[in-house]
Amino acid sequence: MKKAMIIINPTSGKEEALNYVRNVEDLLADQRYDVTIKETAKEQDATLFCISACEDSYDLVVSIGGDGTLHETINGLINQEHLPKLGVVPLGTVNDFARALQIPLLPDKAIHTLSSSRIKIVDLGQLNDQLFVNTVAVGSFAESLSSVTSDDKSRLGALAYVKEGIKELMNQPTHPLHIQYDGETWEGESPLFLAALTNSVGGFERLAPDAAVDDGLLHCFIIKDLTIFNTITASLSLLFGNFKNHKDVVYFTAKNVSISSSESVRTNVDGEEGPSLPIHISSMPRHIQVIVSEEATV
């Protein structure tokens, strides 16, 4: 009999996550899965649960929660011989990975997607010794993202990130960054560096419109200077999908990127606080199988 593990963060979705577990369990049971349910209680629980699913040769792991729960879950896939398929029921604030894969953001529809026969093989990224599914941010903006409280996330949703991000960009200095990528080098002052695996970053689905979930590339943006005026023009560029052409943006694609600084600079990985510089980022092409909707066009 096939085996499936449901990894659930009971505090996700304004603490409504547990309301959906029974529906997921019933749907998987109808597909002849022997289902195990694991609830997270502390940091790294999802990672440990996923490691055990790999070691016990589970066929499917379903993440029910936000981007943070998904980030922890996929980090259980590091150096594993057996990789289960991945199902996602997004209950977070932004849900970039689900957006990029056209997984419905409404929980009931996302649960129905788990019955789909369609599988998409997608890229992962690696930052130092951890994996990520969507985005790495470096600099003042990245630090501001990590400072957004759970209350603000629940109350404001994606607006919490915009509010904190603009405030941080207006009030904080830039950082000296040394960036090496695929034989090239960039050096200069920047408040923000972004590396994205998908087209959706922070809920903006047109930040990297050329990015595909299986193109094997990191889509990278160096923000050189954002005054109040430039913040507005950059926002318009985001809306129209030409952010990479903004005069204060350096855009490139790469398979490997190393970033260092003479200052202490923090990072944010998939919306969670990451390590300080230096870091090395690389793409892991077509690394995992994800269940997507039969109607998805990715």
Cβ within 8 Å of residue 235, ≥6 positions away: none
Binned at pLDDT 50, 70 and 90, residue 161 comes out as: low
AA identity, residue 204: F
Tokens of 294: 């039969």
* Closest C-alpha to 61, from 15, 6, 109: 6
Same domain, yes or no, for 237 and 115? no
pTM score, two decimals? 0.88
Give the Cα separation of 186 and 207 in Å (integer). 21
pLDDT band at 143 (very low <50, low <70, confident <90, very high): low
Same domain, 143 and 208: yes
Greater model confidence, 155 or 231: 231
Question: Which pLDDT does position 110 carry in this prediction?
Answer: 98
Structural domain count of the chain: 2
pLDDT value of residue 150 = 52
Residues 271 and 176 in one domain: yes
Active-site choice (25, 39, 205, 272) = 272
Residues 78 and 141 in one domain: no
130 lies in some domain: no
- In this structure, the answer to whether residues 188 and 68 fall within a common structural domain is no
Inside any domain, residue 129: no
81 belongs to the catalytic site = no
Full domain range(s) for residue 115? 2-123+287-291
Residue 232 maps to a domain: yes
Q: What string of DSSP letters covers 114-140?
A: TT---EEEEEEEEETTEEESSEEEEEH
281 in any annotated domain: yes
CATH number of the domain at 104, please: 3.40.50.10330
pLDDT digits (tens, 9 = 90+) for 28-85: 999 999 999 999 999 999 999 999 999 999 999 999 998 889 999 999 999 999 999 9
